Amino acid sequence: MADFKEISPNASAGAKLTNWFENRLPTAFDMYKVHMSEYYAPKNFNFWYIFGSLAMLVLVIQIVTGIFLVMHYKPDAALAFGSVEYIMRDVPWGWLIRYMHSTGASAFFVVVYLHMFRGLLYGSYRKPRELVWLFGCAIFLALMAEAFMGYLLPWGQMSYWGAQVIVNLFAAVPFVGPDLALLIRGDYVVGDATLNRFFSFHVIAVPLVLLGLVVAHLMALHDVGSNNPDGIEIKATKGPTGIPLDGIPFHPYYTVHDIFAVCMFLVVFSAVIFFAPEFGGYFLEYNNFIPADPLKTPLHIAPVWYFTPFYSMLRAITDEMLLVLIACVAGGAILGVTKFKLPAIVKLVIVGAAAAVIAMMLSIDAKFWGVVAMGGAVVILFFLPWLDNCAVKSIRYRPQWHKYLYAVFVVNFVILAYLGTQPPSAVGERVSQVGTLFYFGFFLLMPWWSRLGESKPVPTRVNYVAH
């Protein structure tokens, strides 16, 4: 416990008040120092570093608008659609709250995708920040669950059939599938029971998990310190006071930085809310203005844009594609056994495992492997810290062709996202199959390709140009 600090009776009222609190809740003051005024962040942060703060802002927007929506929303299959229209029409400023929440959902994914890409660019997931990355991936997963369950609540056609399609995927799991799907739905079809449990998860369970993970993410980050665009450990070069020479107190320097970024973000965010809340059918799908009808399946069921890259990968796994994947597994096993000097027992295990996987692939429906691909595409991100073997962290000092590879990765992801919004087609299927192979190849072959090429020398101090 900290010692009680006396203060001169001549001190100002403000100083006395501060002293009163400091003696009674010193932890708050310590936290302020650790996380704000004496948290030394690298001074060379660029544009890519604003999305973490923006994600926090959007989280707060979602929680606050969500609280107000729940005051008027009715989680009842017969009333849900009407209660949303009630919010849009009869609740004073309800339309604004609702648009903030619906635009916020998409904005959340925009900033989170950019935030994750920043980590990829500058190697922010690498030692000693593995836990920061793992908590971040868990946040992404929780966010996907949150968005998926929230999307059911307006009880429109897309809400209903989107949920129907995704929950039915779980039924493809061998043995326990049908029971699992039943457990999730609480009924044999998506219905009132589903709506109620999704509501409960959406407003209580998942937000609690999200908040806990955000705290863990930030604690882990502030313990090891932020990475930066040069991928240099600023703690390696400290001044005589023990403060990193390239570090700068988070408050006030990055708080004013973030205020600026927040203002710019809010301009864009508000422009969408006030002038294009449907965003051409991408943020609010047109079909969702039709009340859910269990008897009328829409011609084309597409998830909201932020799920579409993964949805594309799901659709890419057909019986044909499964043969390609079997060839990949077999090829990988043969390569592993012949190329590397491994003990005989390990080789045997590799061959055995590959044979088992291939046997499973031949015996279980392609639909299930589509689900595996979709889930795997997210889960594989968790392993990133241990897949990357490049000598340097930041893209700035990696071999030139790495930049091209990253560019292709981004374009590939965008193409997959686009195809996921479109009705199935022969050309689209082929393109998404190639895209899926590239996506997984990028990560699974990373231990190999990230080692190749000549990386540039990394300086000892960060590159910083004064404003």
Q: Residues 6 or more apart from 90 whose CB is under 8 A from it?
A: none
Nearer Cβ to another protein (132/431): 431
Long-range contacts of the stretch 318-323 (C-beta < 8 A, 24+):
318/366, 318/429, 318/433, 319/366, 321/366, 321/433, 321/436, 322/361, 322/366, 322/369
Q: For residue 6, count other CB atoms closer than 10 A to its CB.
A: 8
Q: Kindly state whether residue 79 participates in binding another protein, applying the rule CB under 8 A.
A: no
- Exactly one of 20, 82, 179, 223 binds another protein (CB under 8 A); that residue is 82
Nearer Cβ to another protein (389/463): 463
Q: Kindly state whether residue 463 participates in binding another protein, applying the rule CB under 8 A.
A: no
The nearest distance, CB 81 to another protein, in angstroms, is 9
Q: Kindly state whether residue 241 participates in binding another protein, applying the rule CB under 8 A.
A: no
Q: Kindly state whether residue 48 participates in binding another protein, applying the rule CB under 8 A.
A: no
What does the per-residue mask of binding to another protein show for 415-434, with x meaning CB under 8 A?
x--xx--x--x-xx--x---
Nearer Cβ to another protein (20/404): 404
> What is the spatial distance between Cα 303 and Cα 310, in angstroms, rounded to a whole number?
10
What does the per-residue mask of binding to another protein show for 378-417, with x meaning CB under 8 A?
-------------------------xx--xx--x--xx--
The nearest distance, CB 225 to another protein, in angstroms, is 18
CA nearest neighbour of 153 among 82, 96, 94, 104: 82
The nearest distance, CB 404 to another protein, in angstroms, is 5
Q: What are phi and psi of 449, to 5 degrees?
A: -70, -25
The nearest distance, CB 191 to another protein, in angstroms, is 21
- Exactly one of 274, 340, 386, 448 binds another protein (CB under 8 A); that residue is 274
> What is the spatial distance between Cα 72 and Cα 83, in angstroms, rounded to a whole number?
7
Q: Kindly state whether residue 444 participates in binding another protein, applying the rule CB under 8 A.
A: no
Would you give the DSSP letter of residue 203? I
Nearer Cβ to another protein (249/336): 249
> What is the spatial distance between Cα 107 and Cα 251, in angstroms, rounded to a whole number?
26
Q: Kindly state whether residue 47 participates in binding another protein, applying the rule CB under 8 A.
A: no
The nearest distance, CB 419 to another protein, in angstroms, is 8
Nearer Cβ to another protein (344/466): 466
> What is the spatial distance between Cα 417 and Cα 377, in angstroms, rounded to a whole number?
13
CA nearest neighbour of 99 among 322, 253, 278: 278
Q: Kindly state whether residue 222 participates in binding another protein, applying the rule CB under 8 A.
A: no
Nearer Cβ to another protein (58/354): 58
> What is the spatial distance between Cα 417 and Cα 306, in angstroms, rounded to a whole number?
8
The nearest distance, CB 265 to another protein, in angstroms, is 10
CB 423 within 8 A of CB 300: yes
Stretch that binds another protein, among 15-23, 95-103, 215-223, 226-234 (CB under 8 A): 95-103
Q: Residues 6 or more apart from 49 whose CB is under 8 A from it?
A: 118, 226, 229
CB 227 within 8 A of CB 123: yes
> What is the spatial distance between Cα 388 and Cα 447, in angstroms, rounded to a whole number?
5
The nearest distance, CB 372 to another protein, in angstroms, is 25
Give the residues lining the site for another protein (CB under 8 A). Answer: 43, 82, 85-86, 88-90, 95-96, 99, 248, 252-253, 256-257, 259-260, 262-264, 266-267, 270-271, 273-275, 277-278, 280-281, 286-291, 403-404, 407-408, 411, 414-415, 418-419, 422, 425, 427-428, 431, 464, 466-467
